[in-house]
Amino acid sequence: MIPSELSTPTILIVDDMKENIVFLSRLLKDQADIIFATDGESALDKALNQQPTLILLDISMPEMDGFEVLERLKANPQTAEIAVIFVTGIPDTNTEEKGLNMGAVDYITKPFAPSVVQARVRIQLKLNRLNNDLLATNAELTRMAMTDPLTGIFNRRHFMNATVNELQRFHRHNHPVGMVILDIDKFKNINDEFGHDTGDRVLVHTAATCKTLLRVNDVFGRIGGEEFTVLLPETPLEEASEIAERLRELICTSPLELNSGQLNYSASFGVTKLHSTDQSSQQPLKRADLALYRAKANGRNNVVVFDRDSVKG
């Protein structure tokens, strides 16, 4: 994301009097890029397609006045958040109150006082910049709260929350949902022989390798150590098992490139599905974990399926 202080804001000036557009453009050119419209329909079109930072909107225009333009801007989710300053030659309290109640952020009256216009615009542009910075910060905090810092995929907390949500959806609609847990085989030996830095690279490599095969709606997370989990919405158990098998084959045929050569490794898989008896996210995870334990006991690098009544594999 480009920091807001490095991006140039855009002001849309809407006025049917071209001399007003020329005056305001010259006055504000050092603060922002300027675009303009001379009627309401053109203003709505430019607001939608060019997404200006701020709109200076004349109230008294033929065919569609500023109030109707503002009303239509606020009714469209794609333009509703654009700040609007009304421009009017009628310094009337009732008119000002109406505009503010409709969502305008400020008023500028004619004849223009240049320093006042610049100051009011500067304030709104600063508020916009601060708001964008706050949104970006909140988005980054949200991303950090749900992401594993090493691999960049979801962390355990987000995966468990996603499982709870999917379980609720499953109980409402009874759509099939598969769950896969995978564990890198002999990971301790990798750390002991090649060092923890290489171990971390194996984790990152595994995450990146799996992402090439998984679908957009699949929830892929690292739940701890060398264990990864996949939640597969709209996926019957048999299909979940096939996905796990493709992941297993992909991992063991995608070695990590080291300076000393290739590091080949494998992973074991446990597969289950959500059941109507599941009341928490821990229940399907426990079944998948039991299947994974059986896969390890079977010699590793294989897939074991835990159906409701039996373990298969």
In angstroms, the Cα distances linking 28 to 32, 40, 75, 124, 272 are 7, 21, 28, 13, 63
CA distances from 162 to 47, 85, 153, 228, 307 (A): 37, 42, 13, 14, 21
Dihedral sign from CA coordinates of 39, 44, 50, 55: positive
Beta bridge partners of residue 10, listed in sequence order: 33
Task: Name the one residue in this structure whose structure tokens are 């109507």.
Answer: 276
Query: Hey, is 224 helix, strand or coil?
Result: strand
Instruction: Give the Å distances, CA to CA, from 44 to 85, 86, 95, 281.
Output: 15, 15, 21, 48
User: Peptide bond preceding 111: is omega within 30 degrees of 0, i.e. cis?
Assistant: yes
**Beta strands 267-273 and 177-184, pairing class:** antiparallel
> Rounded distance, CA 216 to CA 190, Å?
31
Catalytic choice (19, 226, 227, 242): 226
Catalytic site includes residue 226: yes
Q: Which residues contact 161 (CB under 8 A, 6 or more apart)?
A: none
- Active-site residue set: 226
